[in-house]
Structure 1
């Protein structure tokens, strides 16, 4: 296993959307970072590019969060959140990773973002009611607008931002998030059709039915798989792997000491829906949707670490069973087992928790933290806002400082 990262990492994610307003206050910013250090946090993840495509620093390529039309982050206009957070982290000797939300470039509510200036970038979805093709955001009630991972302008844009961050900022690593398709219903653009037909060496007779047909109404996610669905799943995952390889090349050629990692959800048996195979190539998944060569699309071997979201209120496999969860991996323990199996000991796995799952249950929170620290390379906590609102800074300290 690659051991560039020390075991026992305690990572705190600082989401800009949740924390940006309060962190505009220099005193609050300093206090939060110092609380993190005193509690045993070793690494911060801070947003450099948020899920709507805006950067938190002045970019030559992207829109800045301070110019958001609803004025929510006006306090950051002409300021550099990323640099300010790096300054505070270095003051208390914390490592810092910059997070980049990759293929998300717009917000539906305010219609801000490059996805609206460059509509040809947007992914095209299969409409769940008519099976025709239409464009909308990630889910009907979601605000994020995704762009097509194989559009050359999209790829160039994301790589330029990565190079810009790594060359200009004193960070210890890059984390990619939303480096994926939004869901199983995208992308069904003409560009993707032509590319896929080239991949399989023949034309699709019934598009998109030979790939998939979505359910309707409340059954939208219960798709009917067409004859080319396994190859389609493989092709989409290969597209994401290709981008990951390109991103790694940019990061490492710019600064070889900058660590390169990714955040994904731990629910591997369902992650084909996002077009991602985050396992090691050495892993062979035995699942209904896999093709014979699906393992070729795996990208974990390109990474130096991976954070997998073990986002469940149930901590143990026994709890998941008692609550009639559909599988053992619907628990922190089961999700860790799934993650370790798919990664196959090739790179460090950092189990990640969604703190909102433990609202009013600090005992269960402590149990989850201990599980992550005992079984994997460390723990990632999402997000800082919950430590503040739940008053859990003191709860955290003994959990993270145990050997």
Structure 2
């Protein structure tokens, strides 16, 4: 992703900014990729206190990543053979328990993030132990590259895969005093996949023996698979609400058209059915005009009338700095358009992984969030028109 520098003068942008809202989602994703903040109890504690001082009110810590859980998991032990990610900094502690307890003490909401969804590293213990869970392309290949990393995808149409993901989510909801759970764009499937024997047989069973179309973008084939993933989302919703009705279901997808055609993820349909109670739309754009265009899509506006809809803003990637000026402009546009708030991807790039001085970026964030704000609630946004 190329990062384009914007040339607007910061003072002009600040002068045009709307008043700082007193109700606003201010979140950040905390991951174990290109960041070690989760690998030390002291670093984690310092990070949460720093976020609180800057008037953040929500953290999304990853709990399912790289084929492992980042909390001690009986479900992972059963299916993967390991109860916890083997990274040394996670051993002998329960990272998620620490985040929940400290976050709540600081009056921050904690929403565990199942970052990898149906995806797994190609050589992971999970993939080796359950080869029958891996789906494939029509030519039989399974590897999907994510940058330089070879991934495989668990088959969301396989009942054992569905149960595994539902059990992981249920375990977290049951064992921790969390405010919600979050799924993202990986709770879907790359559209070229789904040609594994199990899925082909299932399709044939429902289509009088016909095989799936050779074209992975065939309209009916896309819809059939998307509908099956919607059914999995319904299972997740039912399980969470059966365990703890007040636990929020949050989703952070890509824009609808891309999400549907590329990852078979019909999040707008999920929202219409009531399965999504908070939407954090990933809009990792450098061009402000395109950013605004995505904010104004009809399905986004419709969701905004029902539930809190915030926007995921890219604060940077390792080796790809995003200027704070761009971040400020996007946050101000989000406010101008009446959205519920913002979440930054990801913690480390708020100040550390950047070409700009950490002190300058911290000062800019303090100006964006000069006073505390409460999180928007579902009841505040619900209009009764579902």
Match of 2:383? Answer: none
Picking from 123, 144, 164, the partner of 1:157 is 164
Report the CA distance between 1:269 and its aligned residue. Answer: 4.3
Match of 1:11? Answer: 27
Distance 1:174 1:395, change over 3 A: same
- 2:191–2:222: 8 Å Cα contact kept in structure 1? no
Match of 2:340? Answer: 377
Picking from 298, 308, 314, the partner of 1:354 is 314
**Aligned counterparts, 1:23-172, within 5 A:** 23-50=38-65, 52-62=66-76, 63=80, 67-68=85-86, 73-101=87-115, 103-104=117-118, 106-108=120-122, 111-126=123-138, 132-139=139-146, 141-172=148-179
Picking from 277, 280, 291, the partner of 1:332 is 291
Q: How many angstroms apart in 1 are the aligned matches of 2:134 and 2:174?
A: 28
Report the CA distance between 1:36 and its aligned residue. Answer: 0.7
Gaps of 5+ in 2: 1-21, 374-386
- 1:184–1:273: 8 Å Cα contact kept in structure 2? yes
Q: How many angstroms apart in 1 are the aligned matches of 2:147 and 2:207?
A: 31
TM-score (norm 2): 0.80
Gaps of 5+ in 1: 1-5, 127-131, 213-224, 282-297, 318-330
* Number of residue equivalences: 337
- 2:153–2:189: 8 Å Cα contact kept in structure 1? yes
- 2:134–2:155: 8 Å Cα contact kept in structure 1? yes
Report the CA distance between 1:49 and its aligned residue. Answer: 1.2
Picking from 383, 389, 394, the partner of 2:363 is 394
Match of 1:328? Answer: none
Match of 1:363? Answer: 325
Q: How many angstroms apart in 2 are the aligned matches of 1:265 and 1:100?
A: 16
Deviations 1:200-244 (A, max 9, x none): 44513xx652x34xxxxxxxxxxxx5xxx1111111111111011
Report the CA distance between 1:302 and its aligned residue. Answer: 1.6
**Greater RCO between the two (CA within 8 Å, min separation 6)?**
2
Deviations 1:163-183 (A, max 9, x none): 110011011011012453442
Report the CA distance between 1:139 and its aligned residue. Answer: 5.0
Match of 2:13? Answer: none
Match of 2:384? Answer: none
Report the CA distance between 1:95 and its aligned residue. Answer: 0.9
- 1:54–1:105: 8 Å Cα contact kept in structure 2? no
TM-score (norm 1): 0.77
Q: How many angstroms apart in 2 are the aligned matches of 1:162 and 1:377?
A: 25
Match of 2:264? Answer: 275
Deviations 1:76-125 (A, max 9, x none): 123211111112212211111011136435323xx223122100101112
Match of 1:217? Answer: none
Q: How many angstroms apart in 2 are the aligned matches of 1:342 and 1:270?
A: 17
Q: How many angstroms apart in 2 are the aligned matches of 1:189 and 1:347?
A: 37
Distance 1:43 1:140, change over 3 A: closer
Q: How many angstroms apart in 2 are the aligned matches of 1:156 and 1:360?
A: 39
Distance 1:113 1:168, change over 3 A: same
Match of 1:310? Answer: 283
**SS of residue paired to 2:310:** strand
Q: How many angstroms apart in 2 are the aligned matches of 1:361 and 1:102?
A: 27
**SS of residue paired to 1:75:** helix
Q: CA RMSD in A?
A: 2.5
